[in-house]
Each structure stands twice: as C-alpha cells, then as structure tokens.
Chain A
Amino acid sequence: MIRDITLGQYYQADSVIHRLDPRTKITGTFFFIVTLFLAKNVWGYVIAAAFLVMSIKLCKVPFKYMVRGMKAIVILMLMTVVFNLFMTKGEVIFSFWKLSISKEGLENAVKMAIRLTFLILGSSIMTLTTTPNSLTDGLEKLLGPLKKVKVPVHEIAMMMSIALRFIPILIEETDKIMKAQMARGADFDSGNLVKRAKALVPLLVPLIISAFRRAGDLAMAMEARCYRGDSGRTRMKPLKYEKRDYIAYIVIILTLVLCIVFGRNAWWMA
C-alpha cells in the first residue's frame, strides 16, 4: 500500500547506535568523512575500516540492507575508477591501443573506490539508524549558532519536518488524481518523452492547487494552536547527551587523531 512507504531509509532496530543522539551521529559522520580524506596510506584506511566495521556491527542493521543502498552509486563509482585508472599520468605498467594504466593511476583508482564505498556505508549508517524527524531536530540544534547571523534555522527545520509529514499525503493524492484522470481517458504511459511530460500537466495543476490549499489550512491550524515561531517555545522531547554519546564522541575523535598520526605518512613508512 502506498501509505506504508518509509521515508528516507530508516531501519527499525534497537541498538546503541539507534539510541545515540542525532547530533552525535551527524557530527560523527562528518568526522568520519574528514578522516577518510585525510587518510593517505594503508594504515589510514585500516583505521577507518576498523571504525566502520565496529559501527556496522553495533548498529544491528543487516549488512545486505546497507549494500542495497550502494547500488544507486555503482555507475558513479565505475566512472570515477575508470577516469582515475586511465587519466593519471605516471609510470606505465600496462598499455593497449591508446589507453595506458600507470602505477599511480591504479593506486588512485583503488583509493577512490575504497573511499567512496566507505563514505556511502558510513553515511548510510546514520540515515538507517535515525528517523528523518530526529535528523531534523539534530540539525536544528547543531545549526543553532547560525541563528545569531540571522539564518532562520528553526523555520528551515520546521519546513523540513512539515514536508516530511506531507509527502505521503501528497503521494496518496497524486495517486487519486491520476486514477481520476485515467478514468476520464488520460494516458500517462505511452508516447515519447515530450508527450508523457505533457500528460503530467493535468496531474500537476490540481496537485499544486491542492498543496497550496493544504498549506493555507495548515498555517491556520498552526496559528490556532498558538504557533509563533521559535520564540518562547519549549520542547516536548529536548535532545540530551547521555553517557553513550560522550563515549561515541571519544571514539570518533580517537579515530580521527589516529588517522592523522599514522595515516598521513608516505607509502614507504607503512
């Protein structure tokens, strides 16, 4: 049923990582990405891999489920690898026709492939273990200091969470309108691209009008419930760091430091 779609790719499970504060997970992911780009030698990658394997084990999301998320970027990865492989100049180790592979190219390609895989896996741990809602909450809190420079952080977060709430409703509505138009002879599946795009117009117009109407209603309902932006607002579930969050921060920073110390030397040191 269309109502049951899950947004993002949250995977319900009960693990330490699931229970971590969203702020910890967002910062952690960011630090992990930094770690990946600082890693220059084998040891750097080993440290990052160790951290990744530990997180995967801890988060109780089946590994298969994570790999599924990788499929979307296979093409991007192949392109990166191919370009790195053939375009890097250096000591040629293999060549045919006009193409040649250098030692440095091979090295770069392998590094890039590992880096991208780790990056995707690392950030998917965050999205798999955090509900979109708490991600928004975490972002709002993390970006809080930007309020001082007049960035409407609260408003952006509120907009994101309202959008998330209305996506399923609008999808359902699209479905309804589509069926109504099909019942009157509209054809959405045949013809070339231009024709199909044109067929979408009678779908989009009523959808947009109804979205505006909903927005108006919702704004009125929010005002009726005394919503007046961020000022004087309290939280039903305020974000609070627990002991596990401090431990997680220590582990993340340790990984970063270890990577800087051992991972930045040249190859011959390894």
Chain B
Amino acid sequence: MKTKTKSKQWLWHLILLILVLLVAYPLLYMLCSSFKSLKEIYNAGLSLLPREFTTENYDKVFSSLPILRFLANSLIIALIVTVFKMATSLLASYALVFMNFKHRDAMFYFFTMTMYVPFTVLMIPNYLTINKLGLMSTLVGVALPQLADAMGIFRMRQAMRTIPKSLVEAARVDRVGHMTALVRIVIPMLRPAIIAQSMIFFINSWNEYFWPMLILRGDNTSYTLTLALQTFMNSESGSAWGTSMALATITTLVPLVLYLFTQRYIISTFMSSGIKE
C-alpha cells in the first residue's frame, strides 16, 4: 500500500518536473543566450550554458537605446493602470456588494458583459478618441482606456462577498461612511486578493505590446520596453538575437522581482476562496 502511494507520488513529481521545464526552459534559454555571442547562438542549438561568457549584448542594449527611459515609461504606465484599475474595481465592487440600489445585479452583469468585447473591436474607437484628445505619443494616452476593468470588478466582488455583510453594517451603525468602511474595514480584509489582482493588472500592462505600439508612434523616447524589443528585430539588418535576448531579460526582471515579493499572497488567494469568519 505504502510503496504504491510512494511510486504514485514519484510519478506526480516527474510530471510536475516536466511541466516546470516546459515553462522554465524558454526563460532560461533567454537568460543564457543573452550572455552568448550571436555566432554562438546560431551554432549552439538548444544547449543552455554559454561556452564563452560575454556581456557585449547588454553593452550594446544600453549604448544604443535609452533603456532606463523605456523602463521608466513602462513602469509609469503599468503603475497608473494598476492603481486606477484597482481603485475603480474596489469602488464598483463595494457598491455592488454592500449597497442596495435598483438594478444592482443588472449593472453587474452589464459590467461583466464588457469582458466579452474583444480588444480588436475597441481598438479603433479608442484610437480615434485618444487622437481627438491630443494624447498620441503620450503615456497617458496609453493608460487612459485601461483605467477600469470588468475582470477586476468581477474578482473583487467575488472576494468581497466572502466578507460578512454585518461587518459593514456594524460600521454604518457606528457612523462610518461608505468610503471609510471600504478603506478601513473591507480593504484590510482583502489584502491578499488585492495584491494578487494588482500583480495580474501590472503584468498585463507591462507585457502589452499592440496598444502602446498604436499610440506611441514616431517619438521613440516614449517607448516602453516591449516596444523597444522590436527595434532589434527587423528584416533589413537581420535580427540581433543576442541583444534581443538581453533586452527581453531586462524586461522580464521587473515582474519577476515583483512576483518574488508577492507570491505568498498570490498563492494564498488562489488556494483559498477567501476569508471566512
């Protein structure tokens, strides 16, 4: 009996190991390749470790592009988007859970319906609006259409529903306004869920390529890191794989560090269904 469960466990671990490799290999390959010369990248096939360790790719990236500027641009957009998305999600879901008003549920369904509208449909009207507002080639222009998010409202509402209503009612009886109740009672109780969702918002915005490309045209000092990646990829001078890998590594670094700091919240949020008193 015991050996059976043990061998079963081994099997599971083996499967997990294969899955980890599938996910981690491209990342490791990217990291290792960024320290290889272009020649070695072409010749080495799938082998990981560089035979000749070189930082020339990084030197090239930093000398040819204002990387710190791009990093700042990416950060600014991602932070604006994350903060606003979270704020709007929290406000909307608080109202949807703790306040009574007509057509409350209909409103919620309406919000969630917007999740099913594909980006490609919104792209042109958003583009035209940003253009009309004179926000082309600005970071605000990239962030503006992303300040509210139906998915965030949905997730935060689900999380808030696990909080007993009487907590907010007790606060209301004690003369606590809705805003204070949200900030001092609801948000502290949802900290793990908020951190996890914020991470998702941040990474989504950080990784975004197509929308910033539409808005941040021409003026390449306003580029984000993801847009900068394409500057090493062009058909005329051939693709500079080494520098691309170096830049990709830099681009991956920020979400990776953030994840390391917040992973315990993310895991706890996805493992448990929330707070139960």
Bind each other = no
